[in-house]
Amino acid sequence: ACAVGRPLRAAVRCQADGTCFSAHLANGSYAEARSACGRRRVDLAWVSGEPELRLLVELLAAAAPAPSLFWVGLKRNASTCTDTGQPLRGFSWEGAGGGAAPQEVPAALGRWAKEPVRSCLTARCAGLHLAAAAAPGGGPNWGWKE
């Protein structure tokens, strides 16, 4: 999932403030996904609040059948320990759009499909996992997953 400045094609969703996301389907690593976004002159997506998250989840749910895992700009560096007391568990957003990505996020964004491995030794990446079962209320069931 890339963060884009303007719509590129049909698999794009935008907010009124101009924040846009696009979905690109391919099997690959985090590094490959990051590179693919870079070739489009955009970055892997990151979200700072619930409206952006809803938009991104809706886009990805429409783009591919569940269960699916989509790379976003969520990464934990080797020197950062897993922190179960934080919504993102020590992961943070890689900067996007030439600016600094938010480091603190609302607790509502701390939904993990599977808790990350407790470690301080290796860099880890996380993606947005969409489950096959619908969430309570009928929307897509999502969570972060290493």
**12 pairs with which residues across the strands?**
22
State the residue for tokens 């897509």: 140
Q: How many residues does the chain have?
A: 146
pLDDT digits (tens, 9 = 90+) for 93-120: 886 445 555 556 778 888 999 999 998 9
CATH of 11-95+109-145, one of 2.40.300, 3.40.50, 3.10.100, 1.10.3470: 3.10.100
Q: What is the pLDDT of residues 4-29, one digit of tens each?
A: 554 444 578 888 888 888 888 888 89
Q: Hey, is 32 helix, strand or coil?
A: helix
pLDDT tens string 54-88: 889 988 888 888 888 999 999 998 888 999 888 99
pTM: 0.83
